[in-house]
Structure 1
Amino acid sequence: MNVKLRVLSAGVLFFLGQNTFAQRSQKDTINKETQIEEVVMVGYVKKSVSSLTGSMTALKSADIDTPSAISVDQALQGKVPGVVVNTTSGTPGSFQDIRIRGVGSFTASNSPLFVIDGVPMVNGNTTADNASASPSLSTLSALASINNDDIESIVVLKDASSTAIYGARGSNGVIVITTKRGAKGKTRFNLDTSVGFQNEAYNKLKMLSGAQRLSLLKDGIANQFNQTQDEAMQTIIDNDLGGYSLWDGKEYGWQDLLTKKNAGLYSVNLNASGGDAKSTFYASLGYNKTESTSIANPFERITGLFSYKRDLTDKVSFESSFTGSWLKQNPILEAGSFFGNPYLTRVLISPWVRPYNADGSYNIDEFSDMTSIANTLYTQANNVIWQKQMRALINNKVDYKIIKNLTFTSRLNVDFLFNDYKAYYNRYHGDAKDANGSSERRMSQNFNLVTINQLNYIVKFDKHRIDASAFFEYQKNQQDVLSGYGENIPADGLTNIDNTSANYSTGSNYEDWKNTSYFGTLNYSYNNKYILDATIRREGSSRFASGNRFGTFWSIGGAWNLHKENFMPDVVNELKLRGSYGITGNSGVGLNRYQATLAYDIAYGQNGAAYANNFGNPNLTWEKSKTYDLGLDFAFFDSRLSGSIEYYNRYTYDLLQSVPLSRTTSFTSQAQNLGAMRNQGIEASLKFDVIRSNSFNWNIFGSIATVNNRIEKLATGGDGLPIDVYAGSVYRKAEIGLPFMSWYMPTWAGVNTQTGAPEWYLNGVDGERTSNYNAAKRVFQGTAIPKYTGGFGTGLSYKNIFLNANFYYAGGHKIYEQYAQFYMRTNSFTLASYNGSEDLLNAWQKPGDVTDVPVLSYSQNDNFHATSSRHLYDGSFIRLKDITLGYNLPKDFIKNIGIDGLSLTVRGTNLWTYVFDKGLKLDPEVSAAGYTTLTTPPVKSIIFGVNVQF
């Protein structure tokens, strides 16, 4: 087949892919046991599975083949026992909270370390760097710049034996990402296209219609002033309550108006790989366009990857890769009580307000007469808000084989991340109306340099094998931020700061940090039966004072491959007992916290001025974790039945806490290493190949992970009592012996059947009730940390057809519906000023009524909406994460059109969700904090695609 015909065929199939809504298939759905032992990348080194002593889970590219997941962290949920992915927002490209084996710190980072191609990376929410004026904008993940289609494998490291090699960054677990590389042979091309649509996965919250709101408003007035319904209606008319005179009697479905149904999703990825006897290459180009289920503009991303490997001589090989990406996200103001938040708007906006005028233009003139919320349809159409991210990731590696068993490896990595944020607010309506329009621009650049030098020695004699490595690593990170702001824009069409003329402000800042490490690893095996693994790392960080800058972290692990013993029966294919113990650290503390510092961001008499802003603590040091792990891996009956079970116990100490200081110091608190916390639990997974044959295969699998979290130690205050980390919070309390992130609030007792008043238990448990909210005792109400999580599913294939389904579940935790404080009020706040939930239709009416919504009264404050267990729900749920139906076209057919493979698939994501607590109306996948928030919820999607290989 000539080149021209190949290109023509590829173009035809590309067009076919868009018109048949196709997306690539999951290859090798039923994996068969091979005779070649699997090798996995566990950070800096590769290891065979039999030589592993630590807890790790390896995922291949097919396992994370989730086109609706913009960033790879979204594809991990339910795939790895002990890993919880908390959805902070469903806005495309948003940052996700990831927790591995629970929460290990009060105030420092709880996020895992990401390692890409052997190099530790800096990843997180880049919006925090860009949007100083709008801290609750949609988050933007640095991982969103990585194309999932370019990822070859992911390995999640969980215990000390696996993570101690990363020293002060391994305490929260490590996620190792390996990108694709070329293979020797002729050049092969792979084309993926996918088209689909998505909607909100789960949202049962319904708001009052205009007629319902009027009916309840009359009830509230009648109850307050002892009036009849007709008298109450007249009161509404006479006082024009809620802007009633402007209501035309029509129903306006703001929830539908501010939600994009069937939001589109489209992606295309093309890659090529090949090589000869001395060199290989891999090149890819990808494009993604994903619409949000809010009314924001779509997310767009362009990515490219080129990697090249060459054997320069018999002893020297060189490898280099370059990843470049550009993306644009159109964020919305969310995760906060802002009237510019479209998800808050669609809940709280008065249903009497019409969105458009009679001529079809946006209604903005009457909005201020009926509500303090702006017409979000107008502001979304006339404001300009976007953030762009450009990333260049360069990896270079040289291997020099000094002698037969001794190799020197040098890596140099440069990661450059540039973020650009712009926000223009129009001068007619919305947040900047009083300022006659405003414009903000903020740019940040992050430069991350990592060099790693490694000396590796491998020797084998008799039945012994020794693999030893020594490393030196240096990491330097620099970040610059430049911002500007202005108000008073003179004319339409002008959106830049240069066009403003009032209230100018500018800002810039710079910060940097460095890490230096010396470490070594030793892996010894005897006859591949008995394994000993040891790691030691000496690491220094500029985040701490010179006297506490260096820390030592280490681990030791062992494994016994029992299946290699002669006494084991043939039905045992794998039986490995493993255990490990070690100390890792957490350096995720704020920069310069150890220093006594001055700030210069104020003026005095139009002159620069300084003030002390941090007391400092030169004794500040690493948070540390002692972790031990015991596990058993097994496979029986020709590996038809396989799985693992393990127990872990992680004790984290020297946790940072803010300790009160004497006011004579001019400061209220100081950060000190005084707290401790423990996480322990069991993780288990099981897979069974029910049917194996040449034409039909069926397997089932499942996993479960438990977390028992407990606060072991808290700093002591001047009164001799433990210091509450959540001091002042109406939601939580930290107490020794209880889980971290514990809910602590009054206990709801119901509605008084005779008076309709809300009631809470006086002692916080049972017995006597009170309608005086402030008299009710606050008590422990559970934790936001799921006590168990896991996944299960099945895979089937018949000849060229395959079907895979994956479920995810979580439970044992509580979720608080934080915004019930707004839409569950029983007075004018919801009935006249804003809007309320349909649950208010169940309000108490007369003596004898049994309900959980108190009597409505126009001007009362009964504290029904205040923090209590009434708005706390069981967070347990089950979700169908992925279901894929695919068809691989027969090889005889595809050869006739000159290609090597063609697969068609249809995939569903989050199509079904079962929530155990029917009172929970919003999506159960919430942030790690445990609150439901009015943010873009997770999405359910249906995606069609085609994969072509030629």
Structure 2
Amino acid sequence: MKTKFNGFLTLLLALVVQISFAQEKTISGTVSDASGGLPGVSVVIKETQKGTETDFDGKYTIKAKSGDVLVFRYLGYKTVEKTIGTTNTISVTLEEDASVLDEVVVTSYGSTAKRATTGSITTVKSEDIENVPTANFAEALQGKSTGLQSISSSGQPGSNSSVRIRGTASVNGNTEPLYIIDGIPVSSNSASDLGAGGLDAGNRDPLSNISSADIESVTILKDASSTSIYGARGANGIILITTKKGKQGKAKFSLSSQVGVSARAVELFEVLNASEYIELQRESQINAGIEPAVAVLNYPDSDDDTDWSEYAYRDWDAVTKNTNFSASGGNENVNYYLSLGHLSQEGIAVGSGLERLSSSLNLQANTSENSRVGMSFSYSKTEQQTALAESAYFASPILATYLFPPTDTPYLSDGTPNPVASVTSGTTFIKDNYYDTEGSVTDRLIGSVDIAVDIWNDFTLKSKFGLDKSFFNYKQYGSSLNDSNPSGGTADRAYQEVYNWTWTNTLTWSKTLNEDHNLNVLLGQEINKEGSDYFEVVVEDFPNGILQNVGSAATVTGHASSTGDSSLKSYFLNGNYNFQQKYYLNATIRRDASSRFGPDNKWGTFWSVGGNWNVSSEDFMKDLTWINSLKIKSSYGKQGNLPSNRYLWQGIFLNDTYNESPASYPSSTAANPELKWESQNSFNVGLEFSLFNNKLSGEVTYFSRETSDLLFPQTLEGSSGYTLRYVNAGGFTNKGAEIELNYDVLNIKDFNWSIGGNITFLKNKVNTLDEGTLGADGLYIREIGETWNTFYLREWAGVDVATGQAMWYDANGNITFNYTEGERVKSGNADPKFYGGVYTNFSYKNWELVANASYQYGNKIYNDTSRITNSDGAFAGFNQSRDQLDRWQKPGDISANPQRISGNSSNSNQASTRWLEDGSFVRLKNVSIGYNFSEAITKNTFLNGGKIYLQGTNLLTITDFNGDPEQSINGTHWFSYPNPKTISLGINLSF
């Protein structure tokens, strides 16, 4: 009986087991590697077509039965199989497979393995930017990516870097890339009015409000296949910023601190000392017909010999301090990252500086088996002082270094500023810094909330709302004690709010069919609105120096206000397909409607197709063991571009008075409801490779971007009542090649050495232009077949040895002494023929040395500053460059400069090739030597790790240009704030 009962129990148990194994249940978990969750990992039930992929944080859910085998596959990692038992949670850690190493890259609306990308993408890691001692992280991108040109034309803390991806493709449309932080488009310098108002407003960049310590990676998207899903906003490329997130595990804390001192990176320019200045001033007056005795009286000997640079610059006294703290961690359901930061940066020019407090909080949580939520939030408060560097105000310490006479003294014997300034009507930066106050405060909030729900097998619905809002507050007070100000004192107050919000909804379908076919489809809808509200009031006549608010003044001398906004509505569809992870196809179509165009042309359709072939995955490549990976990729697409002005298509009305009553009347610009999108057709083809056991890797790419329907002002007949309107009448082509190479020279037990670099060849050509735009345009010529910024200048012929007169070449190539008879000729252009960067990394045991440099070659710079500082006497009284010592004095003299004549009317210092210089340069951007704490140091302490390092930035610049060669994109130099070189000491601790 007992035997029968045992047999019955055995049968019953077998039945229960069979039922339990046959019953489908939800399996979830996390797939990670040594650094955290892996997105896009294929999770497939073995010998079926059923599968899914991990999300951005490496999490997955799948319906399966006990006894099924889950197969985890990810390019660059070893495949793992796990049999489902009684547990509903299966998490795995994948190990890298050295034979097929590949990286995960962030792409639009997600991430993927690099093998799967069909576009041109470069990723810059956090370690390449987080320790660079600058407020604007964009400066650290210089030389780090092919196709990307980042120029810091001003070294003022918080100033903007001009960033171009594969050249400039517009004139009156947007020209800078779209910046996206964790999926949220944010305001950059060209996309918003943030920082308008007050003095030197052009040197405030919204990107300086973002702490680089919170950045995990920066991804540069360059071609149509990678950018077209963002439609019109991606026409100039995209810079994706991924911030740091928490990872599963115990809490981790990190603390970093850096202190550095700065000086001018380039000090090639020298001015006259007192004796030289007096000599040249007397000589120029005598040459102008003034009696020598009178010239001596006008410029007597002086005991003063002021080096104004000693008062204008804080060479090696400008201190930068940067401290950051973060905490991160999480469990299976919640991950978190929290950070606090403080940056204090004194500018190398007096009266300039920046202080920023920053904080961030990132949370991701699994709210159920099928839903996830995320939140990111950052706040920064930036206080900024801006020296009047980028203009010819005599309150500028930059200009003073060039032009203030060395015979003037900055201070009286009692320590107060000298009220007398011989050539500036009393205005000096010394008095302004002593008596006046000026500065701005910007509060910036960037935040987003998103929710993702797995609504059905293989379908995920996601909604995300993001907001970027800034509050700008500018104050300036000019004391009545400063005789450069009105007698009652003056004040300027500006306030501005700038916002940019985006709401995105997407539905994703991911499907794996019989392990060979993989399909991912993304359907999306997006709404974006941005705008600003601004007012400014300028007053004077205060009752005393204590009351400084604008409301205390008696007289309003100026006021302004503006409100503007624009909106964008979009629908998009993206599809990705691959077969056996060998052949990949990508296609995107997007419809955008923008308020920046008239009712008939609001909508634009943009698209792209791309594909790649992973040649190294083919069977016929197996015997070629020296080739680790080989991929051919290509893409083609059409994109649009928006006007930089929100209301370019509309007629503008101006406000004034008529018969002492308020009035409004049309401006000189006529409306054009037919104005439409600028259009770009982009082609990209490239080869990615990794050879010799991954020792040599690189990428070679050819690209071409043709822009049509460029926005330009068109001159109208006066009888129309208007002078111009904007039309679509122009086209450019930017084409070139990009090469990137990386080589592991040595990789042995204790010593590693790698080198690498990139180079971009770029050529811009004008294809079509409106007749009214063709021809001379200031310093340039706008001509079909030429580069847009082609210089068009009278050709300098030097100095006549017999008379000391300035000479030019006329239309027949003959010498002329008449400036107006000089023939204007095409004289090179502002675009470099090529640019790029190089790097090397050494490590020995716990020591490491990192160095990188950037360069560009073949561009010209028009040195408009030299036109003033080498004026041949035209600007009487101003100090001059020491180059003026090489001047004509008597017949037979061979000299670089003509005879100096006070008030020189010969036009010798007017625009010509005399001031055109080679702008090529090589700059040692960063050198860092560091020591990583050994286990012997951290053992028996609270530390998990640490690093101490010594770093130098912009230590060496090699150039023939007479100044700092990093100048504006259009190739002009005008009393620019020089870039700093910095030496800093830092420490990073983790615990």
* Aligned equivalent of 1:214: 278
State the AA in 1 paired with 2:821: A
Alpha-carbon distance in 2 for matches of 1:834, 1:453: 62
- Pair 1:612-2:656 in alignment: no
| Structure 1 counterpart of 2:734, from 673, 676, 679 | 679
Q: What are the within-5 Å matches in structure 2 for residues 706-725 of structure 1?
A: 706-717=761-772, 723-724=774-775
1:216-365 matches, cutoff 5 A: 216-225=280-289, 232=292, 234-238=293-297, 240-241=298-299, 244=300, 248-262=302-316, 263-364=318-419
Q: What is the alpha-carbon distance in structure 1 between the residues aligned to residue 681 and residue 244 of structure 2?
A: 35
Amino acid at match of 1:236: A
Rounded Cα–Cα distance in structure 1 between residues aligned with 2:710 and 2:190: 23
Query: 1:128 Cα deviation (Å)?
Result: 5.1
More divergent stretch after superposition (575-584 vs 33-42): 33-42
Larger radius of gyration: 2
TM-score normalised over the length of structure 1: 0.92
Alignment of 1:109-188 (within 5 A): 109-124=174-189, 129-132=194-197, 134=199, 136-137=200-201, 139-188=203-252
In the alignment, is residue 895 of structure 1 matched against residue 946 of structure 2?
no
Aligned-pair CA distance for 1:860? 2.9
**1:663-678 correspondence runs (5 A):** 663-678=718-733
Distance (Å, rounded) in 2 between the aligned partners of 1:903 and 1:207: 44
* Offset, 1:723: 3.2
Q: Which deviates more, 840-849 or 277-286?
A: 840-849
2:804 to 756, 760, 782: 756
Matched residue of 1:581: which SS?
A: strand
Specify the SS of the correspondent of 1:477.
Answer: strand
Indicate whether 1:440 and 2:492 are aligned.
yes
Match of 2:107? Answer: 42
**Conserved? CA contact 2:572–2:591, under 8 Å:** yes
Shift of 1:37: 4.2
Give the Cα–Cα distance (whole angstroms) in 2 for the partners of residues 153 and 357 of structure 1.
53
Residue of structure 2 in register with 1:949 after alignment:
990
Letter matched to residue 845 of structure 1:
Q
SS in structure 1 at match of 2:939: helix
How far has the Cα of 1:488 moved from its partner? 1.2
The 3-state SS of whatever aligns with 1:546 is coil
Match in the other structure for 2:822: 776
Per the alignment, residue 469 of structure 2 pairs with 416
Q: Compute the displacement of 1:33 (Å).
A: 5.3
Q: What is the CA–CA distance in structure 1 between the aligned matches of 2:611 and 2:834, rounded to whole Å?
A: 28
Contact 1:353 1:370 in 2 (8 A): no
Q: Which runs of no fewer than 5 residues in structure 1 stay unpaired? A: 1-30
- Measured after TM superposition, the shift of residue 844 of structure 1 is 1.2
Going from structure 1 to structure 2, the CA distance change for 1:609 and 1:129 (only over 3 Å counts) comes to farther
Q: Say whether 1:936 aligns with 2:987.
A: no
Secondary structure of the residue that 2:843 maps to in structure 1? strand
Shift in alpha-carbon separation, 1:828–1:107, aligned structure 2, 3 A: closer
Q: Which of 946, 949, 953 is the matching residue for 1:909? A: 953
What's the offset of the Cα at 1:858? 2.5
How is 1:389-404 mapped onto 2 (pairs within 5 angstroms)? 389-404=442-457
Q: 1:127–1:137: 8 Å Cα contact kept in structure 2?
A: no
Structure 2 equivalent of residue 587 of structure 1: 642
| Equivalent runs, 1:446-845 vs 2, <5 Å | 446-462=498-514, 463-568=516-621, 569-600=624-655, 602-613=656-667, 614-717=669-772, 723-724=774-775, 727=777, 729=778, 731-763=779-811, 767-827=813-873, 829-830=875-876, 833-845=877-889
Note if contact 1:923-1:932 (Cα within 8 Å) is conserved in structure 2.
no
CA contact (8 A) 1:467 1:522 kept: yes
Amino acid at match of 1:293: I
Q: Deviations over 1:342-379 (max 9, x none)?
A: 21122111211111112222111x32x55435231121
Which moved further from structure 2: 547-556 or 35-44?
A: 35-44
CA contact (8 A) 1:217 1:828 kept: no
8 Å CA contact 2:170, 2:710 repeated in 1: yes
Does structure 2 conserve the Cα–Cα contact (< 8 Å) formed by 1:697 and 1:796? yes
* Partner secondary structure for residue 707 of structure 1: strand
Is contact 1:653-1:677 (8 Å) kept?
Answer: yes
Deviation string 1:374-408 (CA, Å, 9 cap, x unpaired) is 23112112111111110111111111011231111
Residue pair 2:523, 2:574 contacting (<8 A) in 1 also: yes
RMSD over aligned CA atoms reads 1.8
Indicate if the aligned counterparts of 1:126 and 1:139 stay in contact, CA closer than 8 A. Answer: no
Q: Distance in 2 between matches of 1:672 and 1:639?
A: 52
Paired position in structure 1 for 2:428: 375
Q: Secondary structure at the match of 2:203?
A: coil
Of the candidates 100, 110, 117, which is equivalent to residue 52 of structure 1? 117
Paired amino acid for 2:228 = A
The AA in structure 1 aligned to 2:324 is N
One-letter amino acid matched to 1:146: I
Is the 2:191–2:644 Cα contact (8 Å) retained in structure 1? no
Note the alpha carbon deviations across 1:243-269, whole angstroms, 9 max, x for none.
x4xx74221111221111111010100
Corresponding residue for residue 909 of structure 2: 865
SS in 1 for 2:454: strand
Instruction: Work out whether residues 174 and 191 of structure 2, in 8 Å CA contact, stay in contact via their aligned partners in 1.
Output: no
Which runs of 5 or more residues in structure 2 are unaligned? 1-95
Q: Cα distance, 1:882 vs. partner? A: 0.6
SS of equivalent residue, structure 1 residue 321: strand
Q: Is the 8 A contact 1:335 1:933 kept in 2?
A: yes
- Is the CA contact 1:827–1:861 (under 8 Å) kept in the aligned structure 2? no
Q: Within 2, Cα distance between the matches of 1:338 and 1:430?
A: 16
2-structure distance, mates of 1:597, 1:700: 56
Do 2:774 and 2:781's aligned partners in 1 also have CA atoms closer than 8 Å? no
Query: Counterparts of 1:924 and 1:436 in 2: how far apart (Å)?
Result: 43
Question: Residue 91 of structure 1 corresponds to which residue in structure 2?
Answer: 156
Contact conserved, 2:196 with 2:202, CA < 8 A, in 1? no
In structure 1, distance between residues paired with 2:108 and 2:258: 32
CA distance in 1, matches of 2:483, 2:176: 36
Q: Quick one: distance in 2 between partners of 1:431 and 1:548?
A: 52
Q: Secondary structure at the match of 1:829?
A: coil
SS in 1 for 2:625: coil
Q: CA deviation at 1:694?
A: 2.0
Q: Distance in 1 between matches of 2:983 and 2:902?
A: 46
For residues 393 and 340 of structure 1, do their structure 2 counterparts lie closer, same or farther at Cα, with a shift above 3 Å needed?
same
Q: Secondary structure at the match of 1:774?
A: helix
Change (3 A) 1:373 1:735: farther
Aligned counterparts of 1:383 and 1:34: Cα–Cα separation in 2 = 65
- Alpha-carbon distance in structure 2 between the residues aligned to 1:429 and 1:681: 55
Secondary structure in 2 aligned to 1:608?
A: strand
TM-score, normalization: structure 2? 0.88
Q: Which SS does the other structure have where 1:548 is aligned?
A: coil
Say which SS state the counterpart of residue 786 (structure 1) adopts.
Answer: coil
Preserved CA contact (<8 Å) 1:137 1:332: no
Query: Matched residues in 2 for 1:815 and 1:605: separation?
Result: 50
Q: Is the 8 A contact 1:258 1:295 kept in 2?
A: yes
What is the CA–CA distance in structure 2 between the aligned matches of 1:871 and 1:172, rounded to whole Å?
32
